[in-house]
Structure 1
Amino acid sequence: MIDHFVAFTKGGIVKWQYSPPSAATVTHIVNDLISDVFIEESYPVQDSTYTKDIYTARWTVANDQGLVFVCIYKTLLHLPWVGQLVAQARQLFPQLDDNEFEAWFATKLASLEAESVKPEPAVAAKVPAVEKIESAVVLADTDSAASGTSTPTGKTRRRGKKGKKDDSLVEKKKKGVMRKWGEDGQALDVGSDDDADLDFSSGPSGAAAVVEDVDMSNYGGANKQGDFVLKQLGEDEGPIASKSRFGFLKNIMGGKTITQEDMDKVTAKVEEQLMKKNVAKEVAVHLCEQVSRSLVGCTTNSWTTVEQTVQQAMADALRKILTPSASLDLLHEVQRHKKLGGGRPYVISVVGVNGVGKSTNLSKIGFWLLQNKMRLLVAACDTFRSGAVEQLGVHVNRLSELAGRQGTGEVELFAQGYGKDPAHTAEKAVEYGEKHGFDVVLIDTAGRRHSDKRLMGDLEKFAKRARPNKIIMVGEALVGTDSVQQARNFNDAFGKDRNLDFFLISKCDTVGDMIGSIVNMTYATNIPVLFVGTGQHYTDLRTLSVDWAVRLLTQ
């Protein structure tokens, strides 16, 4: 009956969220709530409600925890018990460990829904698909509050309080523990790589799990050559939209020759506005300097406002950063490689820090390649994190079943278990792919902290042995200003003769117009953004429209 439940910090980091498999995507309601209420910091201490379109959001703030709890449901349903659910969640969230909270939430939700006019036919159908965006691992490596646990199905959760685990509430599946980092940079234990399940990956990992059909209506389509091409982000902006933010420029100056003094008055506000959209200070300063250089000495036309003049100059500066200098036609590269023959498959490796969604986004890339009739081998080279191999196996099983239904490509998993040298496993996967006629090998890798020289040093060995044709780094839209250093460190980690090829920016559906990470990473490395992740489904993958990004950042 509810469509979404989420707990997030006042800084916008999602700690825990749940959506029923059958529910529509309502993250835009959360974005609107944040934009209309929380950014203005006008919310009261006690509970409140927010209505948008056909939905009502019941929310409460836990000031002692710095958390906001929100439950979204259709307004017409009139669910009086939602306030009780939100209030009790706020009370119990800091007291229970991850397993206890999940079990409590599932039981409580099922009980409340059973009391409604139209109870659910079975409580078992309401076991929640728990998701957690581990952006704190990206934003601050020492933030233990954002640590989580992992299961083979890919669910991730916050780390619970110590010494309070109740075996009666713990799931029977084996759990991993979030990777923690010692003072020497050593990984002390293991943790989750992916921030959330895809809908098709929740539930049992066995063959009995039901795989739902995917909605292809807004995904992409075949071009004149018969290739399946993804939509560009911007063709269907949906919840990712922006209100004009440059209105403060309208009356600052106009109809005169622009001086440096004039620009100094403007650039401070422009810089602040860019930083509010997650653009790093270093990048914002660079952009403002570019704008100043292009405008000082110019005279605004009588029919052109200063707002338009500054916006156009900023758009030009952003477009210069974001426009790729090389081809982004990955599909045609794969097809050319296949036609040339030689036996060796086209190798794509996916890398990134912990918690950005490498495995889920690798699966999205795989689903797209399957639409183009490719034979895929997915290599499980995260041999360190408990549950990583099984989690990837769940994705492969689902992709295989969907491909069979649709009559597209084929996909298989290559795994050698845990404790193996990832570079050796990757090398063997490529050899296996060549021997058995696979078109593409997709290599999943372990998450690693970008500032850990020891873990980052392993990537050079990996690149030399696996010899990937393309290395794609998954960056997170939520990470903000730290994305600059992340991008630089990963780009330099593969040796003097090898760099990153593309970025995939995940979780763009959660940040509204705060898409500064796209600019940050490209500015830091001159590496283009190829894909953008926009949700939790296999079809939630888009190619980046530079015009769309520029428009969102300058409005």
Structure 2
Amino acid sequence: MIDHFVAFTKGGIIKWQHSPSSAANVTHIVNDLISDVFIEESHPVQDSTYSKDIYTARWAVANDQGLVFVCIYKTLLHLPWVGQLVTQARQLYPQLDENEFAAWFHTKLASLEAETVKPEPTKAPAIEKIESVETDSAASGASTPIGGKTRRRGKKGKKDEPVEKKKKGVMRKWGEDGQALDVGSDDDEALDFSSGPSGAQAVVEDVDLASYGGANKQGDFVLKQLGDDEPPIPSKSRFGFLKNIMGGKTITQEDMDKVTAKVEEQLMKKNVAKEVAVHLCDQVSRSLVGCTTNSWTTVEQTVQQAMADALRKILTPSASLDLLHEVQRHKKLGGGRPYVISVVGVNGVGKSTNLSKIGFWLLQNKMRLLVAACDTFRSGAVEQLGVHVNRLSELAGRQGTGEVELFAQGYGKDPAHTAEKAVEYGQKHGFDVVLIDTAGRRHSDKRLMGDLEKFAKRARPNKIIMVGEALVGTDSVQQARNFNDAFGKDRNLDFFLISKCDTVGDMIGSIVNMTYATNIPVLFVGTGQHYTDLRTLSVDWAVRLLTQ
């Protein structure tokens, strides 16, 4: 399916390449990419996509290695996994020799191509009809997930046709002003919900709850943790560069100085911010200097364990993460006022999508939900949320779980006023939870961030959850701090939800960055585009990925 993959130095030396025998010669596309992007800079270097003639090139730069990884394919083909392939190649190339990398690449490519052409399994017939707001076909697959999978059924058609599989994310770039530079990502696309394909309607299919979670002894529906059944990312060894540096001796500060630079580099490759990596290395140095390694314990194991302990100290929450128990307790003692949860974050991180995932989980626990559309500025935001609510309502009705309703006052309204009215409506009509969707905003925009304090005072949310993106990288530290400080001196964030963790492999440093910057724990992790793609964070899983 792809036409060419190449890794080359910034000096133009090809280090590795692959071209299917049936593919056309597209080296001129690589040359044009180098000329337009890296030499003449007529195309934004921050973008990771380049189009020329009938081809699209996706690339990733490994600045520490001075390498550029490029994959070229025909634009007409829908290959959403190319970004993932390029990103993982950049990550793994320095760790593997040429034969190991080639073996990994061909296995990975074959797997991705097989997934692209794999026929969708037969499912039980869905219901005939639901009410929904029709979406533009390009936007619906990227921005509006469903419980299982969505099919389009024509007005007179008798057979279902599978829609495209979910798109994979690419690394988001941020400018000094906090503006997302790759504004062409799926979540930032303008959404037109005013019309859809003639006679088409979305059919919501049943979901697989077994892989999503299950009921505990108290009968509460609890989500699974992320990571227990995740396959490991291939790696030569864990902190293997340390094993011959020292051993069988008392560790001195000089010894640690020799290794902390490499440990720091290893962490930064996994999206850990420099500030955080330096802090972790200092913690490891202080814990090891003066210690003597046991004769049966290698220095590699000693340093790795110390780093794991330092990471675990940051990631282990200091407050309860039992949100469901809090909602249930408030339902009994709250005096009729619904439990209010607000979701905030920068543009394009998937706030509406992840709010709907939280809603789906609460519906499994038989809650009555009111979803408040308080993004009153972005065109299509209210309609997009309406699609989510319609689908959640259909799934809840079919499963016999909770109830969900949309509260909206249109566009151009004061979001704080809309939120306040939503809470009043929820209290009057006996809703258990009000989920408030908010507009995305740049964390460095003081005017937009200033509105959050007013919002918090008017809506008085019980919990404020910030959706952070696994793709964001080292800018996540400042994002987290700015949002945490935006609600006034007496109010902070309560939890993080880290989205798009399925797109970054072991580069999960944003989880550590945000928690380190604010001491706010990660409550949920988003792992895809469906309502069931929500997990709780396993600290052991995160530590394992960051130290391997």
For normalisation by structure 2, the TM-score amounts to 0.70
TM-superposition CA deviations, 1:390-439 (whole Å, max 9, x none): 00000000001011111111100000000000000000000000000000
Query: Do 2:153 and 2:160's aligned partners in 1 also have CA atoms closer than 8 Å?
Result: no
> How far is 1:235 from its partner?
2.0
CA positional deviation for 1:330: 0.3
Q: Quick one: structure 1 residues 130 and 258, their matched pair in 2 at CA, closer, same or farther if it must change by over 3 Å? A: farther
User: Is the Cα contact below 8 Å between 1:241 and 1:552 reproduced in 2?
Assistant: no
1:378 to 1:236, Cα distance in 2 relative to 1, 3 A: same
- Encode CA deviations 1:257-306: one digit per residue, 9 max, x unaligned: 11111101100000000000000000000000000011011110001000
Give the alignment of 1:130-209 within 5 angstroms: 194=187, 208-209=201-202
What secondary structure, in the 3-state scheme, does the structure 2 residue paired with 1:442 have?
Answer: strand
Change (3 A) 1:166 1:176: farther
1:77 match? 77
Distance 1:539-1:186 versus aligned 2 partners, 3 A rule: closer
CA distance in 2, matches of 1:438, 1:483: 34
Distance 1:217 1:499, change over 3 A: same
For residues 25 and 266 of structure 1, the distance between their equivalents in structure 2, rounded to whole angstroms, comes to: 45
- Please report how far the alpha carbon of residue 212 of structure 1 lies from its aligned counterpart in structure 2 after TM superposition: 2.0
Alpha carbons 2:46, 2:182 under 8 Å: kept: no
Which stretch of the first structure deviates more once superposed, 532-541 or 492-501?
532-541
**TM-fit CA distance, 1:6:** 16
Alignment of 1:301 onto 2:286: no
- 1:442: how far off? 0.3
Question: Which residue of structure 2 lines up, in the alignment, with residue 471 of structure 1?
Answer: 464
CA distance in 2, matches of 1:69, 1:50: 13
Using the alignment, how far apart are the partners of 1:526 and 1:319 within structure 2? 13
Aligned CA distance change for structure 1 residues 492 and 345 (closer, same or farther; 3 Å): same
8 Å Cα contact 1:379/1:426 also seen in 2: yes
Q: Is the 8 A contact 2:443 2:483 kept in 1?
A: yes
1:250 and 1:306 in contact (8 A); partners too: yes
Q: How far off its partner does 1:533 sit? A: 0.5
Task: State the SS of the aligned residue for 2:187.
Answer: coil
Could you tell me how far 1:244 is from its partner in structure 2?
A: 3.5
Please state how far the C-alpha of 1:461 moved relative to its aligned partner. 0.1
In the TM superposition, what is the alpha-carbon distance from 1:220 to its structure 2 partner?
Answer: 0.6
Unaligned runs of 5+ in 2: none
Instruction: Quote the offset at 1:208 in angstroms.
Output: 3.2
| Structure 1 residues 370 and 457: CA distance shift in structure 2, 3 A | same
Query: How many equivalent pairs are there?
Result: 545
Q: Paired residue for 1:86?
A: 86
Alpha-carbon displacement from aligned partner over 1:359-408 (angstroms, at most 9, x marks no partner): 00000000000000000000000000000000000000000101111111
Query: Taking structure 1 as reference, are residues 86 and 305 closer, same or farther at Cα in structure 2, changes over 3 Å only?
Result: closer
Q: For the structure 1 residues 487 and 198, does the alpha-carbon distance in structure 2 shift closer, same or farther, using more than 3 Å as the test?
A: same
- Aligned partners of 2:101 and 2:292: how far apart in 1? 62
Cα deviation, 1:495-529, whole Å, max 9, x if unaligned, reads 00000000000011100000000000000000000
Deviation track 1:240-269 (CA, whole Å, cap 9, x = no partner) reads: 776644111111110001111110110000
Looking at structure 1, the residues matched to 244 and 427 of structure 2 have their Cα atoms a distance apart, in angstroms, of 64
Q: 1:159 to 1:39 in 2, by over 3 A?
A: farther
Q: Are the equivalent residues in 1 in contact too, given 2:36–2:42 (CA < 8 A)?
A: no
TM-score, scaled relative to structure 1: 0.69
Change (3 A) 1:322 1:498: same
Distance 2:114 2:214 in 1: 42
Determine helix, strand or coil for the equivalent of 1:194: helix
1:9-63, CA deviations, whole angstroms, 9 ceiling, x for partnerless residues? 9999999999999999999999999999999999999999999999999999999
Provide the rounded CA distance (Å) in 1 between the counterparts of 2:2 and 2:403. Answer: 36
Alignment-derived partner of residue 529 in structure 1 = 522
Q: 1:166-185 CA deviation, whole Å, 9 max, x = no partner?
A: 99xx9999999999999999
SS in 2 for 1:475: strand
Query: Which stretches in structure 1 are left out of the alignment for 5+ residues?
Result: none
Distance 2:327 2:109 in 1: 47
Maintained 8 Å contact 1:61/1:69: yes
Distance 1:89 1:318, change over 3 A: closer
Q: 1:46 touches 1:61 (CA, 8 Å); kept in 2?
A: no
Query: Aligned equivalents of 1:112 and 1:434: distance in 2?
Result: 49
Asked if 2 retains the 8 angstrom alpha-carbon contact of 1:351 and 1:447, the reply is yes
Per-residue CA distance 1:90-117 (angstroms, 9 max, x = gap): 9999999999999999999999999999
Cα deviations across residues 469-510 of structure 1 (Å, max 9, x unaligned)?
000000000101000000000000000000000000001110
Is 1:97–1:161's contact at 8 Å kept on the other side of the alignment? no
**8 Å CA contact 2:141, 2:166 repeated in 1:** no
What is the Cα-based RMSD across aligned positions, in Å? 12.8
Once the two structures are TM-superposed, the CA of residue 217 in structure 1 deviates from its matched residue by 2.4
Shift of 1:211: 1.0
> Identity over the aligned pairs, expressed in percent?
94
Q: Deviations over 1:102-147 (max 9, x none)?
A: 99999999999999999999xxx99999999999xxxx99999999
State whether residues 38 and 45 of structure 2, in contact with CA within 8 Å, keep that contact through their aligned partners in structure 1. no
Runs of 4+ in 1 over 3 A off after TM superposition: 1-121, 125-135, 140-152, 154-167, 170-208, 238-245
Shift of 1:79: 13
Closer/same/farther in 2, CA of residues 28 and 237 from structure 1, 3 Å limit: farther
2-structure distance, mates of 1:48, 1:471:
33
Per the alignment, do residues 187 and 43 of structure 1 end up closer, same or farther by CA in structure 2, a change over 3 Å counting?
closer
Give the match's secondary structure for 2:435: strand
- The answer as to whether partners of 2:149 and 2:205 remain within 8 angstroms in 1 is no
Contact 1:522 1:529 (C-alpha < 8 Å) held by counterparts: yes
